[in-house]
Amino acid sequence: MKHIDTKTIEGAEIVLPCADIKDTLDFFTGVLGFRIDMIYPADAPRIAVISGFGTRLRLDRDSDAPPGSLVFVCRDEERLVTPASPLVAPNGTEIEFRPATTSLELAPLAPSLIVRQMSHDGEWGTGRAGMQYRDLIPGRLGGRYIASHIRIPTGGPVPDYVHHHHILFQMIYCYKGWVRLVYEDQGPSFLMEAGDCVLQPPHIRHRVLECSDGFEVVEIGCPAEHATLVDHDMELPTSARKPDRDFGGQPFNFHKCADAEWIPWRIDGFEMRDTGIAAATDNLVAVVVVRPSAKAATIRSRHDTELLFNFVLQGSMTLDCENGGHWNLVAGDSLTMPAESKYVLSDFSDDLEFLEIVSPAKFNTTLV
């Protein structure tokens, strides 16, 4: 495609057909509050250009374009006035009013046993900002959770922009390499290295700046489908540093692997490093890294929480399920275990480490 020089472009207009320009113009200016920028010709108008609410429209009497629809995004949902019947302009354009931010809706949970292995399920797709994604929870448990293995093979500057997410929670664990990030009110940019983890609270503005070759992360969020919103006005880093600022009920949380302590896990023979995300989210979600601390015994277990997700960071272990399923899990493999399903973990290698994500964080584990 030939490059278009946009430097001389002064604006853009949406063309709408307009058989009766007077009535249509009266509707857009009198009812909707647009203003007239240009009308042509004066004695028998066939074109009118109007603007308002960040939009510029060209009403053209001779156009054969479809009338389309126009959506007004309203900031104050409680004061949103929606007509009892569909509002249609004289030229046929449908008018709709929507709130600027929609409330989070959690889909009913659809539990499922999911095992994803790099050797069999290693398909990668291209997502936002050129990053490659591997889906770790196909089906998304009915739309409740999303887990992604994300990588950028070639390092350097990342073509990202200041953005934020309409989410309940979102966690990013650095699996390989390093990345430089910057977050709203959290000071200058910083490096997140392998083993580090961040909790991105709802609507905190942030940006990915650069990364190493072979950079990889594991990201999990709720709900599975959520909006990513771009902030064109905010510049990062912000001038103030507010480490305790509340974003949608959660603070920003950065877990530094190098400073972490290992403590006993809930099952004997293992230890964990806690990322602090359970405390930051008031037990909405817990994120820990687990490893054998002694001669770890076979784990025969079941749980009663919504989500129990494991990602093998290094080493290996074996998974057996009551339905007869058997898997040898190695680095890059993951499992999602539904509530009340009996499962067995065994054959732990000495160098095993796995990421465990649980939501809600308070749950019961039964050794069976």
pLDDT level of residue 149 (50, 70, 90 thresholds): very high
Q: How confident is the model at residue 11 (pLDDT cuts 50, 70, 90)?
A: confident
Look up the pTM and report it.
Answer: 0.84
Q: Tell me: the pLDDT tens digits for 322-362?
A: 888 999 999 999 999 999 999 999 999 999 999 999 999 99
Q: What is the pLDDT of residue 324?
A: 84
Q: Is 77 left (phi over 0), alpha (psi -120 to 50) or beta?
A: alpha
pLDDT band at 121 (very low <50, low <70, confident <90, very high): low
Rounded CA gap, 225 and 42, in Å? 50
What architecture (CATH level 2) is domain 14-99?
A: Roll (3.10)
Q: What is the mean pLDDT of residues 102-106?
A: 77
Beta-carbon contacts of residue 326 (< 8 Å; ≥ 6 apart): 318, 319, 320
Bigger pLDDT: 298 or 77? 298
Contact criterion met (CB below 8 Å) for 231 and 162: yes
Read off the pLDDT of residues 19-40 as tens digits, 9 standing for 90 and up.
889 999 999 999 999 999 999 8
Considering the chain, what is the average pLDDT of its residues?
Answer: 91
Q: Could you tell me which residues are beta bridge partners of residue 168?
A: none
Would the CATH topology of 114-258 be identical to that of 259-367?
yes
Average pLDDT of span 160-173: 96
Residue 79 in this model has a pLDDT that exceeds 90: no
More confident residue, 119 or 282: 282
Q: What is the pLDDT of residue 123?
A: 83
Domain 114-258 maps to which CATH number in 2.30.30.140, 2.60.120.10, 3.40.50.150, 1.20.120.160?
A: 2.60.120.10
Q: 181-201, pLDDT tens digit by residue? A: 999 999 999 999 999 999 999
Instruction: Find residue 94's DSSP bridge partners.
Output: 69, 88
* Strand partners of residue 286: 358
β-strand 35-40 against 47-52: which pairing, if any? antiparallel
Token pair of 111, please? 């539990």
**What's the token pair of residue 227?**
């909006």
Boundaries of every domain in the chain: 14-99, 114-258, 259-367
Whether the bond into 243 is cis, omega within 30 of 0: no
Instruction: Note the CATH number of domain 259-367.
Output: 2.60.120.10
Q: In angstroms, how far is CA 61 from the centroid of its own chain? A: 43
* Percentage of the chain exceeding pLDDT 70: 94
Task: Yes or no: say if 273 and 195 are a contact pair by the CB < 8 Å rule.
Answer: no
pLDDT range class, residue 294, cuts 50, 70, 90: confident
Q: Write the pLDDT tens digit of every residue in 249-283.
A: 999 999 999 999 999 999 999 999 999 999 999 99
Sign (positive or negative) of CA dihedral 28, 33, 34, 35: positive
Task: Calculate the alpha carbon distances from 1 to 4, 129, 159, 329 in Å.
Answer: 9, 21, 21, 46
Across 84-98, 116-130, 179-193, 332-346, least confident range:
116-130
Contact 237, 182 (CB under 8 A): yes
Q: What's the rounded Cα separation, in Å, for the pair 141 and 107?
A: 9
